[in-house]
Amino acid sequence: MVPLLVLLVVAVALVAVVVAVASGRLDVDPLAEPVHSTPDHGLPAEPDADDVDAVRFDTAPRGYRMDEVDARLATLRDDLAERERTLDSLRAPTEDG
């Protein structure tokens, strides 16, 4: 008799919670703002290739795939490094001038 009573109380409580959520009386936000666990240093106004390696992101269950973020950052770093090398070679004094 006691297990049946416990089961009945749990069932009534479960129905009450479902009705409260469905009617909007119980505020449930499954996509609440994430909590940041690392400081966001971001990138400086004029980043160079070395700055990209210092960027860090928080991890979250519904966040980005880390391997894709790492791949994009590596591409960005390599592109910036190539541009820096090109600029340095253009700025270097030539032997003719």
**pLDDT single digits (tens) 46-90:** 888 888 888 777 776 667 778 888 888 899 999 999 999 999 999
Q: What local confidence, expressed as pLDDT, does residue 89 receive?
A: 92
| Distance separating alpha carbons of residues 26 and 39, to the nearest angstrom | 33
pLDDT band, residue 35 (cuts 50/70/90) = low
Of 87, 1, 94, residue with least CA distance to 48? 87
Query: For the whole prediction, is pTM greater than 0.75?
Result: no
| Distance separating alpha carbons of residues 12 and 6, to the nearest angstrom | 10
Q: What local confidence, expressed as pLDDT, does residue 25 receive?
A: 79
In the numeric block, which tokens belong to residue 50?
A: 């070395």
CB atoms within 10 A of CB 57: 14
Q: What is the rounded radius of gyration, in angstroms, for the C-alpha atoms of the chain?
A: 28
